[in-house]
Chains A and B, each alone.
Chain A
């Protein structure tokens, strides 16, 4: 008979406290706000699920959600293949490896608001390097403060510039872990380059790619700082992503109830998509 005691709980307690203060309690506050109306002076009125219902029926929310999925879809569609391609092209050994790795890591080291500011200046039509080049050398009218398409191209390009490296580094880690014997066997079996990629490299990269896609999904779905600094959600509402809209509602209009309800829905969507994706990608590993 095993001795049983509850001492283990004591060891879990510090983590529990930490999680309580940085996640659970703030989260419950949001839940609290989401079912009440407040007028300041700490006056609260019970509202039930009205905020949720209103939000789910609102065109404004649908539009922001749509833009959010479009943005995340676009950057994943670009960053994942591009990242894999760059990782495949990088040298596996020799002095250039560290040079490539450092170059790749650089964009990720820059703080998010700085990235936004950099691209803001970079794309200014008259004095920005890129903006001037496109407008006055290529003679293509390009001004992201006026044109929604230009704004979209800019935020997507900025995100690709900032985060493709993450996919590159993770894919590269997956690639270098493949033993030489696999490539040698493939050579002997007469496999084409495509077959090597499809049957050796891609399966070996699957786990790291799952993580890369998951991280990029969550990060881009919750993105705020860079587009906020760059476009502020404009022109009009054309680049108002979910988080930007949320901040507008919460801090601009001070509608804490609807904002809290939106936060929760936002959270559930992120969680659900991540869970679905992860479960689908790893279900083969179980059997």
Chain B
């Protein structure tokens, strides 16, 4: 068990990186508390798997250090770090039984057979695979194989961290949910730090206490699922999380007032001083409603997604999504948009630039 500190971490797959674009990981400073459930969330190619491999030791970073508590483990071999990793595709030792698969990491450490047996049965019971223990691992279904992979990760007792690299990719949709709640339950039982890498926001938000959002090799925001949803620190987070994502609208700022389409839009609070750049308003579809006066827009599309309707409207060339419960306007109607004031944020060059309002 340990707190994991990533300090000034950079990594490049090129031998002589020069400009920032050569780096797969640009500058990561991150502290992962002992026993936390973390998710690394980001689109494919954002560097989340590289980061994971650096923590597990499969990759040595170009610059920076990794500390487990006070110990620098930057160049320590994976097997000596007391970590476990579950991969995208289940990795099992085909020729062994499920029992021997679980026992493998322990036997490699020279744990005595009696203790191995206790641990294997404990883990099997936790994962509900006790009746499979004597079966050969090769013939199992994908979700059971992934369970075996997880079990091998959890079986050692001295774990610092267990990492999951998009572990549900090959699992059938109806089993994903089951396995995900199993993971959450396991985390609560074993209390070991877990890091879950995914590009699926649902997986990240349901699993993690803290979500680390990454883009282009950088950490954009670290926060609880609620924080990420309520106050995205960057337009990327706003857009990436939520379904549909945050509306990002180009705007003009004159003095301390923002104008969209020539109309004043009241923001949540004051604008941070001394910021110059491309200004945008961010408002989640959940907080866009139709009123009697406001910004005039034409309804383009109404999609019924079950619990509510997503109404897409156009203001000039700008597309805005609104989530509407109950009655919806017809396509072609003209509506007046109302933005909930304390949910209307200002972004300068992508970064959050409005202060929290007095009411929050």
Residues of chain A having any CB pair with chain B under 8 Å: 179, 181-182, 184-185, 187-192, 195, 199-200, 203-204, 287
How many Å lie between the Cα of A184 and that of B84 in the bound state? 10
How many Å lie between the Cα of A188 and that of B93 in the bound state? 14
Which residue on chain A has the smallest CB distance to residue B139?
Answer: A287
Q: Which of A182, A189, A203 has the most CB of B within 10 A?
A: A189
In this assembly, does B94 line the interface, its C-beta being within 8 Å of a C-beta of chain A? yes
Contact call B104/A191, Cβ cutoff below 8 A: yes
Q: A181 contacts which of B83, B84, B88, B105 (Cβ < 8 Å)?
A: B88
Contact call A187/B96, Cβ cutoff below 8 A: no
Instruction: Kindly provide the distance from the CB of B78 to the nearest chain A CB, expressed in whole angstroms.
Output: 5
How many Å lie between the Cα of A191 and that of B83 in the bound state? 14
Contact call A190/B79, Cβ cutoff below 8 A: yes
Tell whether A200 pairs with B93 under 8 Å between CB atoms, given A188-B78, A190-B109, A191-B108: yes
Contact call A189/B95, Cβ cutoff below 8 A: no
Contact call A199/B87, Cβ cutoff below 8 A: no
Contact call B79/A181, Cβ cutoff below 8 A: no
Task: List, in ascending order, chain A residues with CB within 8 A of B109's CB.
Answer: 190
How many Å lie between the Cα of A203 and that of B100 in the bound state? 15
How many Å lie between the Cα of A59 and that of B149 in the bound state? 59
B42-79 with Cβ < 8 A to chain A: 53, 56, 58, 77-79
How many Å lie between the Cα of A237 and that of B91 in the bound state? 54
Contact call B79/A189, Cβ cutoff below 8 A: yes
Q: A188 contacts which of B83, B89, B95 (Cβ < 8 Å)?
A: B83
Known A187-B79, A190-B105, A203-B93; 10 more pairs at CB < 8 Å: A181-B91, A184-B53, A185-B149, A187-B58, A187-B77, A188-B105, A189-B105, A195-B108, A204-B94, A287-B139
Interface of B is mostly: mixed
Q: A185 contacts which of B53, B85, B96 (Cβ < 8 Å)?
A: B85
Task: List, in ascending order, chain B residues with CB within 8 A of A181's CB.
Answer: 87-89, 91
Task: List, in ascending order, chain A residues with CB within 8 A of B56's CB.
Answer: 184, 188
In this assembly, does B234 line the interface, its C-beta being within 8 Å of a C-beta of chain A? no
Residues of chain B having any CB pair with chain A under 8 Å: 53, 56, 58, 77-79, 83-85, 87-89, 91, 93-96, 104-105, 108-109, 139, 149, 152
Query: Nearest 5 A-B pairs (CB), nearest first?
Result: A190-B79, A190-B108, A181-B87, A185-B91, A189-B105
Which residue on chain A has the smallest CB distance to residue B96?
Answer: A199
Task: List, in ascending order, chain B residues with CB within 8 A of A204's CB.
Answer: 94
Contact call A187/B89, Cβ cutoff below 8 A: no
How many Å lie between the Cα of A122 and that of B26 in the bound state? 61
Task: List, in ascending order, chain B residues with CB within 8 A of A179's CB.
Answer: 89, 91
Which residue on chain A has the smallest CB distance to residue B93?
Answer: A199
Q: B104 contacts which of A182, A187, A189, A287 (Cβ < 8 Å)?
A: A189
Task: List, in ascending order, chain A residues with CB within 8 A of B139's CB.
Answer: 287
Q: Which of A181, A187, A199, A200 has the most CB of B within 10 A?
A: A181
How many Å lie between the Cα of A189 and that of B154 in the bound state? 11
Contact call A203/B95, Cβ cutoff below 8 A: yes
Task: List, in ascending order, chain B residues with CB within 8 A of A184's CB.
Answer: 53, 56, 58, 78, 85, 87
How many Å lie between the Cα of A203 and that of B95 in the bound state? 7
Task: List, in ascending order, chain B residues with CB within 8 A of A287's CB.
Answer: 139
Instruction: Kindly provide the distance from the CB of A245 to the nearest chain B CB, expressed in whole angstroms.
Output: 42
How many Å lie between the Cα of A246 and that of B271 in the bound state? 98
Contact call A187/B87, Cβ cutoff below 8 A: no
Q: B85 contacts which of A188, A191, A192, A195 (Cβ < 8 Å)?
A: A188
Instruction: Kindly provide the distance from the CB of B58 to the nearest chain A CB, expressed in whole angstroms.
Output: 5
How many Å lie between the Cα of A203 and that of B83 in the bound state? 26
Contact call A188/B84, Cβ cutoff below 8 A: yes
How many Å lie between the Cα of A191 and that of B56 in the bound state? 15
Task: List, in ascending order, chain B residues with CB within 8 A of A188's CB.
Answer: 56, 58, 78-79, 83-85, 105
Instruction: Kindly provide the distance from the CB of A174 to the nearest chain B CB, expressed in whole angstroms.
Output: 13
Instruction: Kindly provide the distance from the CB of B73 to the nearest chain A CB, expressed in whole angstroms.
Output: 14
How many Å lie between the Cα of A184 and that of B163 in the bound state? 13
Task: List, in ascending order, chain B residues with CB within 8 A of A190's CB.
Answer: 79, 105, 108-109
How many Å lie between the Cα of A185 and that of B91 in the bound state? 7
Instruction: Kindly provide the distance from the CB of B114 to the nearest chain A CB, expressed in whole angstroms.
Output: 20
Task: List, in ascending order, chain B residues with CB within 8 A of A191's CB.
Answer: 104, 108
Contact call B94/A203, Cβ cutoff below 8 A: yes
How many Å lie between the Cα of A191 and that of B79 in the bound state? 8
Instruction: Kindly provide the distance from the CB of B270 to the nearest chain A CB, expressed in whole angstroms.
Output: 50
Task: List, in ascending order, chain A residues with CB within 8 A of B53's CB.
Answer: 184
Q: Which of A182, A185, A191, A192 has the most CB of B within 10 A?
A: A185
Tell whether A199 pairs with B58 under 8 Å between CB atoms, given A184-B85, A287-B139: no
Task: List, in ascending order, chain A residues with CB within 8 A of B79's CB.
Answer: 187-190
Instruction: Kindly provide the distance from the CB of B194 to the nearest chain A CB, expressed in whole angstroms.
Output: 15
How many Å lie between the Cα of A184 and that of B81 in the bound state? 13
How many Å lie between the Cα of A142 and that of B202 in the bound state? 76
How many Å lie between the Cα of A191 and that of B96 in the bound state? 14
Task: List, in ascending order, chain B residues with CB within 8 A of A182's CB.
Answer: 91
Which residue on chain B has the smallest CB distance to residue A179?
Answer: B89
Task: List, in ascending order, chain A residues with CB within 8 A of B152's CB.
Answer: 185, 189
Which residue on chain A has the smallest CB distance to residue B85?
Answer: A188
Instruction: Kindly provide the distance from the CB of B247 to the nearest chain A CB, expressed in whole angstroms.
Output: 39
Task: List, in ascending order, chain A residues with CB within 8 A of B84's CB.
Answer: 188
